Amino acid sequence: MNLTFSSRELRDLAVAWVVLGVAFAIFFAGGGSRALSMLASEGLVRPLLVSLLTAGLGFLLHELAHKVVAVRFDQVAEFRADYNMLFLAVMSALIGFLFAAPGAVHHRGRLTKRQHGLIALAGPVTNGLLALVFAPIFVAGLLVGSPLLSLVGSRGVAINLFLAAFNLVPIGSLDGRTVLDWSKGVFALTFLPAAALAIYVVFVLGVGF
C-alpha cells in the first residue's frame, strides 16, 4: 500500500485540525462573550491543547482512516478541507452551538458496494477505538488526582463516541448512508450500539462536559 500525502492535503489537514481545535475550545468555554472573556482571563493554550488532543485528533484520525482503507482498495484518495464550513464552525461556536463539517476524503476509482461501505465504516470505527483509548486516561486522571488528565480522557471519550454515532446516522453524505446501502446488518450492528453508548455516556452520565 502506497500511502502518500500531497503538500495541499497536509496543509488542509493541519488547518482543519487547528480550526476545529479553536472552535471546540470556544464551544466548551461556553460560547459567545462568556467564552471570549474566559479564554482571555485564563488563556487559550490549555483549552486549545485539550481540544486538539480530543476533538482535533478524533477528526484527524477519522479522515485518515477513510484514506487508508480507500488506498488499500487502490483508490486515489485525498482529504480536502471545506474552508467555508471551517469558518462556520468557529462562528457557530461563538454563538453557543457547534456545527462542524470540516471537509472530507475524496477518492476516485471503481469500487464495489462492500468496498464503499468499508471505507465509510473506517472513520466511525476509528472514533470508537479512540474512545477506548481515552477511557483509561480518564480513569488514570481520577486515580492520580489530575484534573487535566481527567478532562482530556473524559472529553476524548465523549467526543469520539459522539463522532462515531453521528457519522453513522444514515442521512445525506454521512458515513451511515453508505454503510446502510451496503449492508443493513452491518449498519444495525454498528449504529445502534454506537448511538446507545453515546447517548448514555454523553447525555445520561454527562461525561466530557
List Cβ neighbours of 110 (8 Å cut-off, separation of 6 or more). Answer: none
Residues 6+ apart with CB under 8 A from 86: 15, 16, 19, 20, 23, 102, 103
Rounded Cα–Cα distance for residues 138 and 187 (Å): 29
Residue identified by cell 471570549 is 36
| 122 bridge partner residues | none
Closest CA to 11 of 73, 86, 66: 86
All residues at 6 or more sequence positions from 66 whose CB lies less than 8 Å from its CB, including other chains: 77, 104, 105, 107, 119, 120, 122, 123
User: Do the beta carbons of residue 103 and residue 141 sit within 8 Å?
Assistant: no
Say whether 2 sits in a helix, a strand or coil: coil
- CA 133 to each of CA 87, 105, 153, 206: distance values in angstroms, whole numbers, following the listed order: 30, 24, 8, 19
Q: Considering 9, 42, 63, 78, which one is annotated as catalytic?
A: 63
Question: Has 78 been annotated as catalytic?
Answer: no
Active site residues: 63
